[in-house]
Amino acid sequence: MRFFRNIFLSLLLLSITNIGYSQVLGNKLLISSKEVLPSPNVFIGGIGVSTTTSALLATILGISESNIFNFNITNNNISCYIDINYDIPNSAFRLNSEITFYIDEEKCTEIGSLAFTDYLNPYNLEYGYFENVTIIGTQAFYITQTDKVKELIFPEVTSYSGTRGFRNLPLLETCYIPKITVLGTDHLDDQVFLECSNKLLIYAEPTMETINGGGVEGDLAYVTGTLGGQVTYVDNYTLPNSVSNLSDSNITSSSVDLDFSTPSSSNTIDFYEVYIDSGNGYIARDKISFDKITTTGDTLGNLTTGTTYKIKLRTVDIYFNRSGFSNIIEITTL
């Protein structure tokens, strides 16, 4: 009887693969809990059209496929978990017209030269967020054709070598580089921001205000002088509080008003980032804001008729310190 009972247990083992690995010891059936996959820490937009496997992504990034986990493609956007520190190689996404955003929350430490340059090809990159990158190579974001880059976030970068690093980004509105003390080859104007937008706001390291012989670093002076942009010198990292009572009013076929009480903040609140989820599987919906508003009662527009949205906010102060998320509301346009 024991022989047949063990056979029965072995067959039962094969029928429960959705639970996890199992094994039979004597008369006991031991079933482990299902292995938990690590949450993604890398999000890359658009390239799922051609980069269809973790092996292909590993080749682009110059790492082993064995270091990539939980690889997923949704609407051509890639999400995955990378378990080692890595650098984005020189020219990694050069000439790549598919990429729309790149977000690394943990492991990327350096961006190579020409890594995201278009070099006379159409380009669709809109957003870059690199939590722990410390070095950016020469002309890594040098764009020559129609540009869509709106926001570049580098909390830990200390140097950006070479000239024309962010050249020709006419739509760039936010560049967060609060720890950089070297832009280009020296403290003069190395054309790092040549031909960028007059709406550009740079969040910079405080010593850059006097680092050029007592005057403003040359590239930042170009931004405020020639371009007519702005520079904020970041000397405070205290986060503002989150909105806690977000609600909606005046819903139309394409818009909604967002209402809330102003949260407390040590620094002056500048604006609120709006994050939306329309249920289309946009994997970076918690990473990239859909729009910005400045006060309660502001209207969120450009919505689609008859669509249900989940909406939440983040409070942002004048130093680009960002709060956690607000409560979530759900609305359906008319």
pLDDT (tens digit per residue) in 221-256: 999 999 999 999 999 999 999 999 999 999 999 999
Neighbour count for residue 252 (Cβ, 10 Å)? 13
What's the alpha-carbon Rg for the chain, to the nearest Å? 24
Neighbour count for residue 59 (Cβ, 10 Å)? 13
Q: What is the pLDDT of residues 269-318, one digit of tens each?
A: 999 999 988 766 555 666 778 889 999 999 999 899 999 999 999 999 99
Q: What is the pLDDT of residues 83-113, one digit of tens each?
A: 999 999 999 998 888 899 999 999 999 999 8
Q: From residue 84, how far is each of 69, 115, 209 by CA, in Å?
A: 11, 19, 36
Q: What is the pLDDT of residues 191-230, one digit of tens each?
A: 888 888 889 999 999 999 999 999 999 999 999 999 999 9
In the chain, pLDDT over 90 holds for what percent of residues? Answer: 60
Confidence of residue 170 (pLDDT cuts 50, 70, 90): confident
Residue whose entry in the numeric block shows the structure tokens 């509105």: 173
| Terminal Cα-to-Cα distance of the chain (whole angstroms) | 68
Q: Which tops the pLDDT comparison, 204 or 39?
A: 204
Neighbour count for residue 74 (Cβ, 10 Å)? 13
Q: From residue 131, how far is each of 69, 107, 109 by CA, in Å?
A: 19, 8, 9
Q: From residue 306, how far is each of 75, 254, 298, 332 by CA, in Å?
A: 21, 9, 21, 6
Write out the two tokens for 225: 């002088």
Statement: residue 171 has pLDDT above 80: yes
Write out the two tokens for 118: 């278009």
Largest CA-CA distance found in the chain, in angstroms, rounded: 91
pTM above 0.75, yes or no: yes
* CA-wise closest residue to 241 among 259, 216, 267: 267
For the four alpha carbons of 15, 20, 24 and 28, in that order, the dihedral sign comes to: negative
Write out the two tokens for 105: 């929350």
Q: Which tops the pLDDT comparison, 184 or 307?
A: 307
Specify the fold of 247-332. Immunoglobulin-like (2.60.40)
Q: Which residues partner with 21 through β-bridges?
A: none
- In whole angstroms, give the CA distance from residue 238 to residue 330: 30
Q: Identify the burial level of 214 via C-beta atoms within 10 angstroms of its C-beta, where 0-12 means exposed, 13-18 middle and 19 or more buried.
A: exposed
Length of the chain: 334
